[in-house]
Amino acid sequence: MSKILIIAGTRPEIIKISTLSNYLSSNILFTGQHFDKEMSEFFFTLIKEQNLIRLESSNYEVGEHEGFINDIKRKLLEIGPSSVLVQGDTNTTLYGALAAKSLGIKINYIESGMRSRDINQIEERNRIIVSGLADLNFCNHIINKENLLSENIDERKIHISGSTVYSVLYENNLLNQQKNDIEDKFILLTLHRPENVDHEEKLMDLLNSINLIGEKVIFIIHPRVQKSIEKKHLESFKNIHIQNPKNYFEFINLIKNSMFVISDSGGIQEESAILGIPLLIPREFTERPEMLNKFNLLVKSREQVLKESNKLINGDSEIQKIDKNELLYGKSEVIKNIAERLI
């Protein structure tokens, strides 16, 4: 088997590539783009410890792309992989691809072809650039392939693999676990995108509308939210219960036991759909439109948040009629399909 190096820098990336890394016995170069010891160490348990390589210089400020890329290049020269594998739309994804390209190393790209059509998002720009750089693009869905073809990506470089999220849930026995016997019904809430949390007034307005739903809401608070709003302000919402970040298994358990989820996370769009839990997305756009009005809905205003939440609570929402067999992202063969193309 050729020597494949996986480059990752965030917790979601570690989750999504964990089963593939273990299947291939590939090393993972972890850049530490998002790192805190308490949270990240758990996610490292999802992969084989001997396969983890840490980038020495791991704390980069926004805009320090040259140093970031050069540090990755030094590691690539030291390790000497035949190809690299990147996933998603983070700066690690982009810088890993740029570093590899500058050294003539082949690039494999997981989750290629997702498009929100909002070029103002740095994530969207990263997706477009990396798709063009990649030697092999792995897509979750036919819509992603169509996006790449419309951008004149060679069809021979495109493969519909399905989502690695499904394989992570499958391999860790998280698909068929029974719900816990939780008496309290609750709505699960997460927020982290700059457009939702970087401005206190807008965040407070959104939280106020969620509080008015009148049901218990468990808010898994992201470090970005903690930086932008005082805890005492959050505590003013009587129906919103603040909890610290969870490890992956705990968080999946919360999704499965919730009435429905409100989140601006792309990854949770996949997880909630696969688990059959309705999702409301407080965003203007999504890079996963294939699930809209089937598994989840965009809610672009506080009025929509309240309206659609009440529909879900009253059993009147179309997205409650989810057919769990209508899986959009492949099944347990996802990792095998990707591996066969890589070998």
Instruction: Report the CATH number that the domain containing residue 137 is assigned in CATH.
Output: 3.40.50.2000
Which of 113, 142, 160 represents a domain boundary (last residue)?
Answer: 160
**Do residues 320 and 293 lie in contact, with contact meaning Cβ atoms separated by under 8 Å?**
no
Does residue 19 share a domain with residue 82? Answer: yes
Residue 342 lies in a domain: no
Domain count, the chain: 2
Does residue 50 share a domain with residue 140? Answer: yes
Sheet with 187-190, edge to edge strand ranges: 240-243, 217-220, 187-190, 261-263, 279-281, 296-298
Does residue 210 share a domain with residue 133? Answer: no
Residues sharing a CB contact under 8 Å with residue 85, sequence separation 6 or more, in sequence order: 4, 5, 6, 7, 17, 20, 26, 107, 108, 109, 110, 342
**Do residues 65 and 122 lie in contact, with contact meaning Cβ atoms separated by under 8 Å?**
no
Does residue 148 share a domain with residue 248? Answer: no
Residue 257 lies in a domain: yes
175 pLDDT band, cuts 50/70/90, is confident
Give the global pTM: 0.89
Does residue 67 share a domain with residue 25? Answer: yes
Does residue 152 share a domain with residue 10? Answer: yes
Query: Is the pLDDT confidence value at 231 over 70?
Result: no
Does residue 67 share a domain with residue 215? Answer: no
Tell me if residue 34 is catalytic. no
- Taking residues 189-218, what's their average pLDDT? 91
pLDDT, one tens digit per residue, over 269-319 is 999 988 889 999 999 999 999 888 888 999 999 899 999 999 999 998 888
Domain that holds residue 307: 187-320
61 pLDDT band, cuts 50/70/90, is low
Residue 68 lies in a domain: yes
Is residue 248 classed exposed, middle or buried when 0-12, 13-18 and 19+ CB atoms within 10 A define those classes? buried
Does residue 154 share a domain with residue 34? Answer: yes
Does residue 138 share a domain with residue 44? Answer: yes
Query: Is the pLDDT confidence value at 71 over 80?
Result: yes
Does residue 15 share a domain with residue 147? Answer: yes
- Taking residues 69-85, what's their average pLDDT? 96
DSSP 28: E
Q: What DSSP assignment string belongs to 37-56?
A: HHHHHHHHTTS-GGGEEE-S
- What is the structure's pLDDT at 33? 77
Residue percentage of the chain with pLDDT more than 70: 86
- What is the structure's pLDDT at 319? 85
- Taking residues 162-170, what's their average pLDDT? 89
- What is the structure's pLDDT at 1? 45
Bigger pLDDT: 103 vs 204: 103
Residue 76 lies in a domain: yes
- Taking residues 123-139, what's their average pLDDT? 97
28 pLDDT band, cuts 50/70/90, is very high
- Counting every residue written for the chain, the total comes to 343
Residue 239 lies in a domain: yes
Residue 303 lies in a domain: yes
Residue 168 lies in a domain: no
Residue 111 lies in a domain: yes
Return phi, psi of residue 8, to 5°.
Answer: -145, 155
Does residue 284 share a domain with residue 152? Answer: no
Query: Is the pLDDT confidence value at 328 over 80?
Result: no
Does residue 11 share a domain with residue 133? Answer: yes
Query: Is the pLDDT confidence value at 45 over 60?
Result: yes
Query: Is the pLDDT confidence value at 35 over 90?
Result: no
Among 225, 186, 187, smallest CA distance to 203 is for 225
247 pLDDT band, cuts 50/70/90, is confident
Among the options 65, 192, 199, 241, which is catalytic?
192
Range name among 118-122, 224-228, 333-337 with the lowest pLDDT average: 224-228
Q: How much is the mean pLDDT over the chain?
A: 87
